[in-house]
Amino acid sequence: MPDPAHAAPVGPHITEEVREALRRRLPVVALESTIIAHGLPRPRGLQVARELEALVSAGGAVPATVAVLDGVAHVGLRADQLERIATEEGIRKLGFRDLPPALALGASGATTVSGTAFLAAAAGIRVFATGGLGGVHRGWTTVQDESADLNLLSRTRITVVCAGVKSILDVPATLQRMETLNISVAGYRTAEFPGFYLRSSGEPVDWTLTTPQQVAAAMHAQDRLGGPPAALVVANPVAEEHQLDPALHDRVLADALAAAEGDRIHGQAVTPYLLARMVRDTEGASLEANLAAVRGNVRLATEIADAWSQRTP
Ligand code: PSU
Ligand code: MN
């Protein structure tokens, strides 16, 4: 019996195209919007947003970019709505916990992995693509900054394709937290956790999946087991020819971390500060590696959604 004191969930607004695809069990891929609103210099965000949707369509699936506009949560955006998210001033960054006040106040925002995972799952979408997950920040012992992405993924049955986590985070601590939180993690065609800009973070993963069909089989197994809901993270390394030069990466990252300390950068400001230095000191190469990783993830998510759509009910 639903508690009459609580309203029945209504869920996000879903475009007709996405709704129809889900009804017919056609492949659908949800796309995170924070990267297009906040992760890229303008007007690159809009260009990339359109490109990512086109990649999904070209792979035979329906794209569903997730965002909040004027207090309404959307799964699937019209062209004009996608443009607003990528170009409008004052677009907020919304994790799961930000959704209630954003909806109440009529705000507009891009969704992080936690916001996207929740809304996509609420819409009935099983696969989504992003760049990198949030995770445990360096210096966690003094400032307990761990992305809410991990908590939400520990409670949501969804498959997330990512290129690992950015090397500005504490990668071993992030992997440890995912273990503690019972988030399933598999390298895609690799036994090492990818390093976002680099093919490898140097950290091992316990499982390797090598085809979209194997990923879909793991998703089936989640359903058959019927345990508490948790995500399957498919960690997909950036293509070799697009990774940053590892020596350049290590040098620039070390400089950026030292500079952040020297400039006494703390809290929310740390990530944008470090990322901006990475872009500057690699002369834009880190941005190109970032984009290549996201494109690769969107392609793989499309293949997984396709394999998943072939399942027998
Ligand atoms: N990693 C990236 N690019 C991003 C993000 C992470 O390489 O844009 C974004 C994602 O939306 C992720 C969020 O969900 O940052 C995590 O933010 P926080 O650490 O504030 O939870
Ligand atoms: Mn954070």
Residues near 140 by beta carbon (within 8 Å), at least 6 away in sequence: 146, 170, 173
Ligand 1 pocket: which of 35, 44, 153, 183 to mutate (most atoms within 8 A of CB): 35
Task: Give just the sign of the alpha carbon dihedral 22, 83, 89, 280.
Answer: positive
Instruction: Evaluate if residue 114 carries a pLDDT over 70.
Output: yes
Task: With CA atoms as reference, report the closest residue to 302 among 194, 216, 193.
Answer: 216
Q: Report CA(221)–ligand 2 centroid distance (Å).
A: 32
Residues near 251 by beta carbon (within 8 Å), at least 6 away in sequence: none
- Confidence category of residue 312, pLDDT binned at 50, 70, 90: low
Compare 294 and 1 and report the one with higher pLDDT.
294
Q: Which of 53, 166, 192, 303 is catalytic?
A: 166
- pLDDT tens column, 14-42: 999 999 999 999 999 999 999 999 888 77
pLDDT at 3 (0 to 100) = 62
- Identity at 96, one-letter amino acid code: F
Q: What atom in ligand 1 is closest to the CA of residue 35?
A: 8
Q: Relative to the alpha carbon of 133, which ligand is closest? A: 1
Q: State yes or no: is 166 an active-site residue.
A: yes
Instruction: Evaluate if residue 9 carries a pLDDT over 90.
Output: no
Average pLDDT on 90-94 reads 95
- pLDDT tens column, 213-227: 999 999 999 999 999
Task: With CA atoms as reference, report the closest residue to 194 among 145, 248, 244.
Answer: 244
Q: Report CA(216)–ligand 2 centroid distance (Å).
A: 31
Distances, alpha carbon 221 to alpha carbons 226, 306, 313, in Å:
8, 17, 13
DSSP letter string, 80-139: HHHHHHHH-TT-EEE-GGGHHHHHHHT--EEE-HHHHHHHHHHHT--EEE-S-B--BBTT
**Rounded Cα–Cα distance for residues 115 and 45 (Å):** 19
pLDDT at 61 (0 to 100) = 98
This prediction's pTM? 0.96
Task: With CA atoms as reference, report the closest residue to 198 among 248, 138, 133.
Answer: 248
Q: State yes or no: is 93 an active-site residue.
A: no
Q: Report CA(170)–ligand 1 centroid distance (Å).
A: 14
Residues near 9 by beta carbon (within 8 Å), at least 6 away in sequence: 122
Q: What atom in ligand 1 is closest to the CA of residue 95?
A: 21
DSSP letter assigned to residue 70: T
Structure tokens at 230: 């948790």
Instruction: Evaluate if residue 168 carries a pLDDT over 80.
Output: yes
DSSP letter string, 194-228: -BTTBS--S-B-S-EE-SHHHHHHHHHHHHHHT-S
Nearest CA to ligand 1 atom 17: 134
**Consecutive H or E run containing 241:** none
Ligand 1 pocket: which of 97, 113, 233, 291 to mutate (most atoms within 8 A of CB): 113
Instruction: Evaluate if residue 267 carries a pLDDT over 90.
Output: no
Ligand 1 pocket: which of 111, 112, 167 to mutate (most atoms within 8 A of CB): 112
Round the CA-based radius of gyration of the chain to a whole number and report it. Answer: 19
Look at the chain and count its residues.
313
Q: Report CA(38)–ligand 2 centroid distance (Å).
A: 14
What residues pair up with 93 in beta bridges, in sequence order? Answer: 110
Mean pLDDT for the chain? 95
- pLDDT tens column, 47-61: 999 999 999 999 999
Average pLDDT on 231-249 reads 97
Average pLDDT on 63-82 reads 98
Give yes or no for a contact between 41 and 7, defined as CB atoms under 8 angstroms apart: no
pLDDT at 269 (0 to 100) = 83
**Rounded Cα–Cα distance for residues 299 and 313 (Å):** 25
Give yes or no for a contact between 79 and 49, defined as CB atoms under 8 angstroms apart: no
pLDDT at 110 (0 to 100) = 97
**Rounded Cα–Cα distance for residues 228 and 230 (Å):** 6
Q: What atom in ligand 1 is closest to the CA of residue 148?
A: 21
- Confidence category of residue 10, pLDDT binned at 50, 70, 90: confident
Q: What atom in ligand 1 is closest to the CA of residue 290?
A: 7
pLDDT at 6 (0 to 100) = 76
Instruction: Evaluate if residue 4 carries a pLDDT over 80.
Output: no
- Confidence category of residue 313, pLDDT binned at 50, 70, 90: low
Q: Report CA(145)–ligand 2 centroid distance (Å).
A: 5
DSSP letter assigned to residue 164: B
Highest mean pLDDT among 72-81, 133-142, 257-266: 72-81
- Identity at 22, one-letter amino acid code: L
Nearest CA to ligand 1 atom 19: 147
Nearest CA to ligand 1 atom 1: 132
Residues near 312 by beta carbon (within 8 Å), at least 6 away in sequence: none
Q: Report CA(259)–ligand 1 centroid distance (Å).
A: 21
pLDDT at 1 (0 to 100) = 53
